[in-house]
């Protein structure tokens, strides 16, 4: 999956894909209105780097406090790993942002691929699916997928990302989720993170 992400990142810097991305962003700019812009900005703030850092600390801490060690570690690995992978890929690919004439708000940094906001939204969705059990897992997946789609669309709508950037964000989150799911299954970790049985009367 990391190889796929790197391949998509390489494609993102090509002239053809960039030209297509600008055409899509130009078309989306024609749909802008006050309500959609306000909602897109709100979605961007909800998936900001500050929110991501806070979630990476607080969510695992809350799960650990509830004696869900495996879920706590898995959540930390998914959220933290996704943000780390996205940051490293950003620096490695170094794709420029769309033209500034398309921006509704100023971007957080100069690198466009992958979308950090989309990475965070997708990572949160995947973490929720991994730590949720039973019928609630389907609901968590549906809500998470919807939230990720909203954030991804918002970033393109606001003109600060190309469509391929938000795809890269989802791929970065999937990489982290696969890594987390594999690590917690390693025998040493699995023994230490086994959830204690709850005694019932």
Q: Which of 178, 149, 172 is nearest to 82 (CA)?
A: 172
Let me know the angle formed at the C-alpha of 139 by 138 and 143, rounded to the nearest 5 degrees: 120
CATH class (in words) of the domain with range 2-192: mainly alpha
158, 104 contact by CB (below 8 A): yes
pTM across the whole model: 0.90
The residue that leads in pLDDT, 112 or 192, is 112
The residue that leads in pLDDT, 149 or 184, is 149
User: Looking at the predicted structure, is the pLDDT value of residue 99 above 60?
Assistant: yes
47, 138 contact by CB (below 8 A): no
Q: Determine the pLDDT at residue 191.
A: 66
Least-confidence region, from 58-62, 68-72, 100-104, 197-201: 197-201
pLDDT (tens digit per residue) in 118-144: 999 999 999 999 999 888 889 999 999
Q: Determine the pLDDT at residue 60.
A: 94
Neighbouring CB atoms inside 10 A of 99's CB total 11
Q: Determine the pLDDT at residue 187.
A: 74
The residue that leads in pLDDT, 195 or 21, is 21
């Amino acid at each position: 999956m990391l190889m796929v992400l790197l391949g998509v990142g390489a494609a993102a810097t090509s002239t053809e894909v960039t030209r297509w991305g600008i055409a899509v962003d130009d078309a989306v700019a024609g749909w802008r209105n006050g309500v959609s812009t306000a909602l897109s900005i709100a979605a961007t703030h909800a998936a900001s780097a500050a929110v991501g850092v806070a979630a990476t600390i607080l969510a695992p801490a809350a799960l650990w406090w509830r004696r869900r060690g495996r879920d706590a570690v898995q959540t930390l690995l998914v959220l933290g790993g996704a943000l780390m992978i996205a940051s490293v890929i950003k620096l490695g690919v170094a794709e420029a942002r769309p033209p500034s004439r398309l921006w509704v708000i100023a971007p957080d940094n100069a690198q466009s691929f992958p979308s950090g906001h989309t990475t965070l939204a997708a990572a949160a969705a995947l973490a929720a699916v991994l730590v949720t059990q039973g019928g609630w897992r389907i609901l968590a997946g549906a809500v998470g997928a919807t939230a990720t789609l909203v954030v991804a669309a918002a970033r393109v709508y606001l003109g600060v990302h190309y469509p391929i950037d938000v795809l890269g964000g989802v791929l970065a989150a999937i990489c982290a989720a696969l890594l987390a799911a594999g690590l917690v299954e390693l025998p040493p970790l699995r023994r230490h993170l086994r959830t204690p049985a709850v005694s019932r009367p």
